[in-house]
Amino acid sequence: MASDVERPTPSFNNGKSSGERDGVQEPLLKNGSPECEEFSVVSAILPFLFPAFGGLLYGYDIGATSSATISIQSPTLSGITWYNLSSVEVGLITSGSLYGALIGSILAFKIADILGRRRELVLSSLMYFIGALVTALAPNFVVLVIGRLIYGIGIGLAMHAAPMYIAETAPSQIRGQLISLKEFFIVLGMLIGYIAGSLLVETVSSWRYIYGVSFPLSLIMGIGMWWLPPSPRWILLRAIQGKGDAHSLRETAITCLCRLRGGAIGDSAPRQVDEILSELSHMREEQEVTISEMFQGKCLKALTIGGGLVLFQQITGQPSVLYYAATIFQSAGFSAAADATKVSILLGLLKLFMTGVAVLVVDKLGRRPLLLGGVSGIAISLFLLGSYYTYLDDIHVVAVVALLVYVGCYQLSFGPIGWLMISEIFPLRLRGRGLSIAVLVNFGANALVTFAFSPLKELLGAGILFFIFGGIAILSLIFIFFIIPETKGLTLEEIEAKLL
């Protein structure tokens, strides 16, 4: 029984060393772990794809909402009698999913380790499904906002569980690429939202159709996540904590790992599971990390790294710079600027391309080089924007170049690397709660920047505000240089053992 087993022991290895399988000696790293994990590329796609749908639906909401709010306020095209909305009511529609995401992040703190990563994503898909349905069919403003809140809860749960599930199930040598691809899916969702809005915005009641597109996508996500196996590492965490029969949970973890890796794993699944157990054997048999422990020792260090990174991701002004995109393009005389949706599509294509570049190089160059190089570009672009609005307002090319540099550098650095680092830096026992705090910081900082931008711009002026964002970007560079470790090529257990 689980109560008779205080902690896993190396006896699970059946007398074989960690680098030996069926008489064949595998290449070892210095810590004795295999040089690489066996996996099938095809089998690795689905454990990434369905969780990434959570990011796709998040991005789609961002891209679709701009067109949906235009449609819903049109006397002729809204198809409703309550189209005459105040600015506060429009703001509630726009930010309703953000408030819901904050609620979802708080919920994830309590339920993530109980449900597990897979079931949390199933719950997220259900929230997406219900939220999209309620929003698309809303008979009045109040129901519409409720639908947006429910959809946002799905965002909060998905952005918490998706990177965690991908990180815990992906082979270490492609983990960075797969988690960065989730950011690619967020940007892809934004682009699809921009395109859908551009195509449907002239249709009567188009806002219902625009929001309704999420309905079938959430169904695909839910069915896919129901079919996928649980995270083997989460199962082994339950074995460590005595929440079930240790031997039975070990066998379940082996079965799940075989499904995740495909036929290429051969008969090495038991060895890989035992290596994870061996790495975790120092953990005491505790039910879950306490609140006080989150701010002590290696937990505090992980929170500093993860929370600090996603905080700087937002307070360097990312929402505000994109807010100014249409204005900058229009002042520069671009014909596409006459149509905000076309400008959004242009920026969406750039974001998608640069995210693709980051995906291709993140596991080759590493996390730190991309962060240091990308954030340096962000700082330069912010100072250029500040100069444009303060001194160079007649040289429009400066603003356009600065905007494009900002978007490109953000998608090389903070965009994908922020979500990647928070998914791999937290030790297993506190990964669920630690990641929920990081996601809460992310959405909270996003809300702060979004809602504080207009009054600060009115008080200080756009130029001064962008200079302030540039100064914050310099501080973030210092933080990255001295605090952020390199995790390229390390297993999650090696990250915990070596870096925390």
From 189, 207, 229, the end of a domain falls on 229
Confidence of residue 499 (pLDDT cuts 50, 70, 90): low
- DSSP-assigned letter for residue 127: H
Asked whether residue 113 is assigned to any structural domain, the reply reads yes
CA–CA gap between residue 146 and residue 143 (Å, rounded) = 5
**Residue tagged 């997406």 (tokens):** 128
Q: Which structural domain, as residue segments, surrounds residue 48? A: 29-229
Query: Which of these ranges, 31-35, 55-59, 153-157, 262-266, has the smallest mean pLDDT?
Result: 31-35
Asked whether residue 330 is assigned to any structural domain, the reply reads yes
Identify whether residues 294 and 192 lie together within a single domain. no
Identify whether residues 350 and 208 lie together within a single domain. no
Q: Look over the chain and give the mean of its residue pLDDT values, rounded to a whole number.
A: 82
**Residue tagged 């006896």 (tokens):** 11
pLDDT at residue 20 greater than cutoff 70 = no
CA–CA gap between residue 334 and residue 98 (Å, rounded) = 31
Which tokens in the block code for residue 52? 């990434």
Identify whether residues 95 and 217 lie together within a single domain. yes
Identify whether residues 81 and 192 lie together within a single domain. yes
The three-class DSSP label of residue 201 is coil
CA–CA gap between residue 21 and residue 83 (Å, rounded) = 68
Which tokens in the block code for residue 283? 């953990």
Asked whether residue 355 is assigned to any structural domain, the reply reads yes
Average pLDDT over residues 221-229: 93
pLDDT at residue 35 greater than cutoff 60 = no
Q: E strand or H helix at 187, and its extent?
A: helix 175-200
Q: What CATH number does the domain containing 340 carry?
A: 1.20.1250.20
Q: E strand or H helix at 464, and its extent?
A: helix 462-483
From 214, 229, 244, the end of a domain falls on 229
Identify whether residues 204 and 336 lie together within a single domain. no
Identify whether residues 337 and 465 lie together within a single domain. yes
What's the pLDDT tens digit per position in 125-141? 999 999 999 999 999 99
pLDDT score at 481: 95
The three-class DSSP label of residue 28 is strand
DSSP-derived secondary structure for 282-334: TS---SS--TGGGGSHHHHHHHHHHHHHHHHHHHT-HHHHHHTHHHHHHHTT-
CA–CA gap between residue 446 and residue 430 (Å, rounded) = 24
Asked whether residue 168 is assigned to any structural domain, the reply reads yes
Regarding beta strands 20-21 and 24-25, do their DSSP bridges make them parallel or antiparallel, or are they unpaired? antiparallel
Confidence of residue 336 (pLDDT cuts 50, 70, 90): very low
The three-class DSSP label of residue 34 is strand
pLDDT score at 134: 96
pLDDT score at 408: 93
What secondary structure, in 3-state letters, does 49-103 show?
HHHHHHHHHHHHHHHHHHHHHHHHCCCCCCCCCCCCCCHHHHHHHHHHHHHHHHH
Share of the chain above pLDDT 90, in %: 32
Amino acid, single-letter form, for residue 434: G
CA–CA gap between residue 342 and residue 347 (Å, rounded) = 9
Identify whether residues 214 and 295 lie together within a single domain. no
Confidence of residue 280 (pLDDT cuts 50, 70, 90): low
pLDDT score at 281: 63
Identify whether residues 222 and 300 lie together within a single domain. no
Confidence of residue 321 (pLDDT cuts 50, 70, 90): confident
Average pLDDT over residues 4-19: 37
Identify whether residues 186 and 331 lie together within a single domain. no
Identify whether residues 374 and 500 lie together within a single domain. yes
The three-class DSSP label of residue 488 is coil
pLDDT score at 42: 66
What's the pLDDT tens digit per position in 91-129? 788 888 988 999 998 898 878 778 888 999 999 999 999
Sign of CA dihedral 485, 304, 164, 450: negative
Asked whether residue 469 is assigned to any structural domain, the reply reads yes
CA–CA gap between residue 37 and residue 174 (Å, rounded) = 10
pLDDT at residue 144 greater than cutoff 90 = yes
Query: Which of these ranges, 53-67, 72-86, 273-287, 357-371, has the smallest mean pLDDT?
Result: 273-287
CA–CA gap between residue 358 and residue 411 (Å, rounded) = 7
Amino acid, single-letter form, for residue 205: S
What's the pLDDT tens digit per position in 338-391? 455 567 678 888 989 999 999 889 888 999 999 999 999 999 999 999 999 898
For 406-444, give one letter per residue: b (16+ CB within 10 A) or e. Answer: bbbbbbbbbbbbbbbbbbbbbbbbbbbbbbbbbbbbbbb
Asked whether residue 5 is assigned to any structural domain, the reply reads no
Asked whether residue 366 is assigned to any structural domain, the reply reads yes
Total structural domains within the chain: 2
Identify whether residues 295 and 225 lie together within a single domain. no
Which tokens in the block code for residue 112? 């993530």
pLDDT score at 435: 85
Q: E strand or H helix at 156, and its extent?
A: helix 141-169
What's the pLDDT tens digit per position in 80-90? 989 898 877 88
CA–CA gap between residue 257 and residue 255 (Å, rounded) = 5
Identify whether residues 323 and 439 lie together within a single domain. yes
Q: E strand or H helix at 377, and its extent?
A: helix 367-390
pLDDT score at 338: 44
Name residues whose C-beta falls within 8 Å of residue 125's C-beta, 6 or more positions apart in sequence.
53, 54, 154, 158, 218, 219, 221, 222, 225
Asked whether residue 324 is assigned to any structural domain, the reply reads yes
Which tokens in the block code for residue 104? 């979802």
Query: Which of these ranges, 202-206, 291-295, 430-434, 476-480, has the smallest mean pLDDT?
Result: 291-295
